Amino acid sequence: MSYQPGQRVALVHTSDPHTRLRAGDTGTVRHHDQRQNIVEVAWDSGSTLSMSLDDGDRIAPATTPPPTGDPVGEATEWAAALRRMRAAGTEAGHTAAAWWAQDTIGARVSGDTRLAARRILAGIHDGDPAVLDTLPHFSSAGDSVDAAGWELFADATGDVSGWFGLRIQQRDEAMTVYRDAFATAAEERVADLCHLAASPTGRDVSHLHPDRVHLGDVGVFSGEWAMTVGPDGDDRFEIGFVGVLIDHWNGWAVFSCTRPVAEAIVADQHRLRDQHRRSLREQGVPEDDLARRVDADLADLSFDEDVLVVDQRALSDDPEAIERVAPDGDGRYVVMGRSWCWEAVDPYACDRMVGDLPDPDQA
């Protein structure tokens, strides 16, 4: 290769044991003796060491201009290069997370992917090394730092030779920015994908976490009667009902819901009553006494056209303890508000949910 006077070059390697030049140092070509293949260089550091290319010295073209004495301009250009490295690292992290998910919580995986996703989310939240170490990490194993850095820098900036014009400190900074962006993006994307996989609806419902539900907000509500124990020993809810928090009563939630959700609450109450009936029968309660015993333990809910009928006469031992709940002007119902111990629950703790869920920007 022929080098022309005035051409910018970067040092790749020299075997001179006495020079203070290091790989990445830049300079300007003064003369190239092609017969002896010696390149005279005015190095930016002040060195005038010539490069004997036939004896193992190596240089590469560089696009970095000679020092201009304009530190503000140089800093601006370098900041722009780092932004491009950060953007490239972010994109690579997102891509790595998507590939990781296919073999971890995606369609390729057998077993309970919702459970796996919940465990990963818990590990990320707790900073558990056993989980964090399994997440995608940037690796340049098998490549030299310069080889890996050159390729990444060239892809990110479009400058195929600029890497060798960077100072060692700049190369380290560029790689650090890329790695940090990759790690952050990969972890955030993994969390997003796990939120989708862990959701009973296949949608991200993290915005409906109880800590974010205030008066007037949409939330997911359930109670101790629906609580079960999950495979990890965590609290689970067989069903959660979507509604709007409108009040608190003795620390418990009062919420309004649509007609379909109210009907689902009634259906779930019938399921509990049937389950209780079977349990009493197994305990030897006479058949002709089962209805009375069930009514004495659980309220009987039903719809009379648009009116919800709540029959608790046997439960309260009060012949007048029957209530008719009409919908409000928006057609919404308050089902057993101030009578049952409802609470806002984590949607990810529900095996299934009933009701229309708002998008994150609408919650």
**C-beta of residue 63 within 8 angstroms of C-beta of residue 162:** yes
Token code pair at residue 138: 């940037």
Question: Is the whole model's pTM more than 0.85, yes or no?
Answer: no
**pLDDT digit string (tens) for the chain, length 363 residues:** 889 888 888 899 998 888 888 888 888 898 999 999 999 998 888 888 999 999 999 999 887 666 656 667 678 888 999 999 999 999 999 999 999 998 888 877 777 888 888 889 889 989 999 999 999 998 865 555 556 788 888 889 887 667 777 777 888 899 999 999 999 999 999 998 988 888 888 788 888 999 999 999 999 999 999 999 877 777 899 999 999 999 999 999 999 999 999 999 999 999 999 999 999 999 999 999 999 999 999 999 999 999 999 999 999 899 999 999 999 999 999 999 988 999 999 999 998 999 998 877 655
Q: Around 123, how many Cα atoms within 13 Å sit in the side-chain half-sphere?
A: 17
CA dihedral 139, 140, 145, 146 (to 10 degrees): -130
Alpha-carbon span 48 to 26, nearest angstrom: 12
User: Which residues, 6+ apart, have CB-to-CB distance to 341 below 8 Å?
Assistant: 223, 224, 252
* Residue 304 burial by Cβ neighbours in a 10 Å radius (0-12, 13-18, 19+): exposed
**C-beta of residue 48 within 8 angstroms of C-beta of residue 42:** yes
**H-helix or E-strand spanning residue 27:** strand 26-33
Token code pair at residue 282: 């197994």
